[in-house]
Each structure stands twice: as C-alpha cells, then as structure tokens.
Amino acid sequence: MALHSADPDSRPEAAALRLIRHAPGAPALRLGLGAGWRPVGAIGQLRALLNDHSFWAAGRSAGDLRRMLRHSQAAVSAWDGRQLVGFGRASSDGVYRAALWDVVVAEAYQGQGLGRELVTLLLEAPLLRGVERTYLMTTNSAGFYRQLGFAEMPSQKLLLRQQIKKTG
Ligand SMILES: CC(C)(COP(=O)(O)OP(=O)(O)OC[C@H]1O[C@@H](n2cnc3c(N)ncnc32)[C@H](O)[C@@H]1OP(=O)(O)O)[C@@H](O)C(=O)NCCC(=O)NCCS
C-alpha cells in the first residue's frame, strides 16, 4: 500500500487528507482497512460513498464490491482521518488498454483539487502509467477529465451490452 501525502501548503483546509494507491486487487481495502492500516469498515464506507455520490454505482452489495476490487488492477482511496472521502479504480492489461471506473469525491470535499489528485495518482499506478490508451465514460464530468489530458472521440461509438444481474 503506497501512501501519498497531500501538499499542505496548496490545500490548507484539507491538510489532513491522505491518498492511498492500493496494490492490484486492493487487498487492504477489501479487509476493511483505511489509512495507516486501521480497521475502519472500508467496504461499508465505500458502499455509502458510491450510494451517496454516484447514480451508476448505487446499491452495490459489500460482497460484489470486494469482488470488484479483487479484479481491479489499480485503486486509489482518499481519507480524512478514518473517513473515506474519495475513491477511483481502473482495469488494465498493462500494455495496450486501460479504463477508469467509479471516480467519486464526497460532496464536502469537491472543488478543492482532490479529484484531480486522485485521478493523477490512479494514472501513475504501475499497471496504468505505460498503457497506450486509457478510456473512461462520463455523463457530467467531461470538463474535469479534459483538464487531465482526456479528449472526446467523436469518431468512436460507445456500445453497451447490459447484463441483467441475478440476485441471491
Ligand atoms: C467529478 C469529481 C470526481 C471531481 O472531483 P473534484 O475533487 O470536485 O475535482 P477537482 O476539485 O480536482 O477539480 C479539478 C478541475 O476540474 C473542474 N471540474 C470538477 N468537476 C467538474 C465537472 N463535473 N465538469 C467540469 N469541470 C469540473 C474543477 O472546476 C477544477 O478546475 P479548475 O482547476 O480550473 O478550478 C467530483 O465532482 C465527483 O465525485 N462528482 C460526482 C461523481 C462523478 O460524477 N464522478 C465522475 C464519474 S465519470
């Protein structure tokens, strides 16, 4: 688990924030650990963060979130003490293609540069940094990603195969 300290001078109101870039599969997060390896109920907190701040990832179960993390090649979490205040993850083949998923910053922490820091750390993860193309999908945040070097691709179409999720 790599720790990344925020620069307290550039963001004084958020000096206590810590960003963690997790190992592939995010084993510590799956065990419920937060910054400093403290048990903080991280999966329950991730569930609440996604429920409260995303429309696409609301209602995911704790078990499915653990599976999701296990099969993600990169993940970053942001903490204010014991509280999870930001998250993002990525899948990648390590060479040609990667995709960012589930980037979320808690509302009270938005607009302070945390999202930018979080995505930058994600893009620098070992299995992402050398990849030829990194994709993402967004409904309302294209301007945010443009500032991070992403460009819209009018020549390409997004196709979706929706799987009906079985319960039980
Ligand atoms: C999108 C999100 C992750 C941005 O996080 P954040 O911490 O607020 O972003 P930052 O403060 O790092 O913003 C960096 C820059 O992007 C801009 N920006 C932030 N959100 C934006 C948006 N939705 N559209 C356009 N620009 C945006 C900021 O104004 C800032 O620009 P500046 O440096 O010129 O002031 C956050 O607003 C969020 O979690 N939203 C809800 C979930 C969501 O929609 N996630 C994206 C899924 S693809």
Token reading at 121 = 């750390």
Ligand 1 in reach of 78 Cβ (< 6 A) = no
Does residue 120 lie within any of the structural domains? yes
**Could you tell me the CATH number of the domain that includes residue 67?**
3.40.630.30
Would you say residue 160 lies in a domain? no
Ligand 1 centre to CA of 116 (Å) is 7
User: How many domains, the chain?
Assistant: 1
**Contact status, residue 104 vs residue 89, Cβ threshold 8 Å:** no
Residue 28 located in a structural domain = yes
Q: Containing domain of residue 136, as a range?
A: 2-146
Tell whether 156 is covered by a domain: no
- Pick the atom of ligand 1 nearest to 110's CA: 8
The DSSP code sequence of 102-126 is: EEEE-GGGTTSSHHHHHHHHHHTST
Q: Is there a domain that residue 168 lies in?
A: no
Q: In this structure, is residue 151 part of a structural domain?
A: no
* Distance from the alpha carbon of residue 144 to the mean position of ligand 1, in angstroms: 5
Reported as a single tens digit per residue, the pLDDT across 134-159 is 999 999 999 999 999 999 999 999 99
Asked if residue 154 is part of any domain, the answer here is: no
pLDDT in tens, 47-94: 999 999 999 999 999 999 999 999 999 999 999 999 999 999 999 999
Is residue 19 assigned to a domain?
yes
- Atom index in ligand 1 nearest the CA of residue 116 equals 12
Give the count of beta carbons closer than 10 Å to the beta carbon of residue 23.
15
Q: What is the pLDDT of residues 100-123, one digit of tens each?
A: 999 999 999 999 999 999 999 999
